[in-house]
């Protein structure tokens, strides 16, 4: 038994450098609505467009996200608060928010439920990382072949050495009219969804009226 445990530990130690959390995909570049409209990009069938509002004025802000499950439909049946096993083969994705004017941005991402694992707000040589990998409030869903609004990310430039003003908020109703007009402007011919959190409660209850 002891030998088995030792072997298992050795195997795990060997595999760790190759695990999803240790590796990252190259940073994703966000496109402004204007760029996305004038230079439309082709995406894979399994991917969807993420629509997000960014207000990040710090010098080099970024977020890390990790896919937890592949199928969004699975998330809809998940009871709130149920622990989700991360997708072991999926890589962490770094999304750089550097030099972005406040506004809406789009980028392609594979279908699935994602966890924002950290917010990074460095001030030149002074790092600040807020880990959110174990907090289910920092999740969003992306549907393949659709445009999904995932919320509002705020990272203020003014910070102290050990704290920063960071927020990830659902502004679906606040931005509703704006979102409709952006989706029309993008003209991707894809359906539009609300993907903040693991369930579209407000949308389901009110806008879609499915409850």
Partner 1 sequence: MKGLMYVVILLVSFHSAATNVASDFFSKPDVISAHLAPNGQSVALITNSIDKPLIEIFDVESKTSKPVFDFESIKKNDVRVLNATWLGSRYLALEVGLEVRGVENLLDTKHKVDYLIVDSYATADKPKAYGIKAKGVIIDPLNADDEHFMFAKYGANSRIYKLKVAKLNRYGKKFSKLDRPDGGQLKKKNQTVSVEGAVVRWFLAENGEVDSVLYFKRGEGMRLAEIEKGEVTTEIHAWLTTREAKDRRKKQARKNKKAKKRGDDPVIDQALNLSDITKTRFVPVKKADTTSRFFGVNLESEGNIQTIYLIDYDKLEYKPVYESAAYRITDFVPSEDGKRLASVNLVMDGQAFTDYLDENGNSTLLSSDNLRMEVGSSVDGKVTLDYVENVNNAGRYHLTLDGKETVIASRYPKLDNLAKIELVKSKIQSDELEVEYFLTLPESSDKAPLVVMPHGGPIGVFDSHYFDAGTRFLNEQGYAVLRVNYRGSGGYSKDFIDAGKKQFGVGILKDIVNATNDVLKRDDIDASSVCIAGMSYGGYAATMLTLQHPDIFKCGATVAGVSDVYLTANNTRLSNRQFEWVKEHIGDADTEKEHLLSISPVYLTENLSRPLLVVHGTKDKIVDIEHAYRLKYVLDKNQKDYEWLELENSGHQFEHESDLIQVFETLATFLAKHL
158 interacts with partner 1 by CB under 8 A:
yes
With a CB cutoff of 8 Å and minimum separation 6, the contacts of 87 are 20, 66, 67, 68, 69, 70, 112
Please give the DSSP secondary-structure letter assigned to residue 91: P
Interacting span for partner 1 (CB under 8 A) from 68-76, 102-110, 133-141, 179-187: 133-141
The verdict on 160 binding partner 1 (CB under 8 A) reads yes
Q: Which stretch binds partner 1 (CB under 8 A): 13-21, 73-81, 107-115, 180-188?
A: 73-81
Residue 25 sits in the site that holds partner 1 (CB under 8 A): no
What is the C-alpha to C-alpha distance for residues 23 and 91, in angstroms, rounded to an integer? 6
CB of 175 to partner 1, least distance (A): 8
Question: Taking Cα atoms as reference points, which of 63, 64, 60, 54 lies closest to residue 123?
Answer: 60
C-alpha to C-alpha distance for 171 and 173, rounded to whole angstroms:
6
What does the block give as tokens for 140?
């969003």
70 conformational bin, left if phi > 0, alpha if psi -120 to 50, beta if neither? alpha
Residue 133 interacts with partner 1 (CB under 8 A): yes or no: no
Q: Is residue 167 within the footprint of partner 1 (CB under 8 A)?
A: yes
Q: Is 180 in the site for partner 1 (CB under 8 A)?
A: no
Residue 58 binds partner 1, judged by CB under 8 A? yes
- The residues that touch partner 1, with contacts defined as CB under 8 A, are 58, 79-81, 123, 126, 135, 137-138, 157-161, 167-174, 176, 197, 201-202, 205-207
């Amino acid at each position: 038994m002891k030998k088995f445990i030792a072997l298992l530990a050795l195997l795990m130690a060997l595999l760790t450098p190759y695990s999803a959390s240790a590796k990252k995909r190259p940073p994703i570049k966000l496109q402004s609505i204007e760029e996305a409209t004038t230079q439309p990009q082709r995406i894979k069938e399994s991917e969807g467009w993420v629509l997000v509002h960014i207000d990040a004025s710090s010098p080099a802000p970024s977020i890390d996200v990790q896919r937890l499950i592949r199928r969004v439909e699975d998330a809809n049946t998940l009871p709130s608060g149920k622990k989700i096993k991360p997708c072991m083969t999926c890589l962490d994705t770094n999304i750089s928010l550097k030099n972005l004017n406040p506004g809406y941005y789009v980028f392609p991402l594979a279908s699935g439920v994602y966890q924002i694992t950290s917010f990074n707000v460095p001030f030149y040589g002074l790092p600040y990382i807020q880990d959110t990998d174990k907090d289910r409030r920092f999740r969003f869903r992306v549907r393949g072949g659709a445009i999904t609004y995932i919320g509002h990310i705020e990272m203020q430039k003014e910070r102290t050495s050990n704290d920063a003003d960071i927020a990830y908020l659902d502004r679906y109703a606040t931005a509703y009219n704006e979102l409709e007009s952006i989706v029309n402007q993008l003209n991707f011919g894809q359906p539009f969804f609300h993907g903040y959190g693991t369930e579209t409660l407000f949308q389901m209850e009110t806008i879609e009226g499915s409850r």
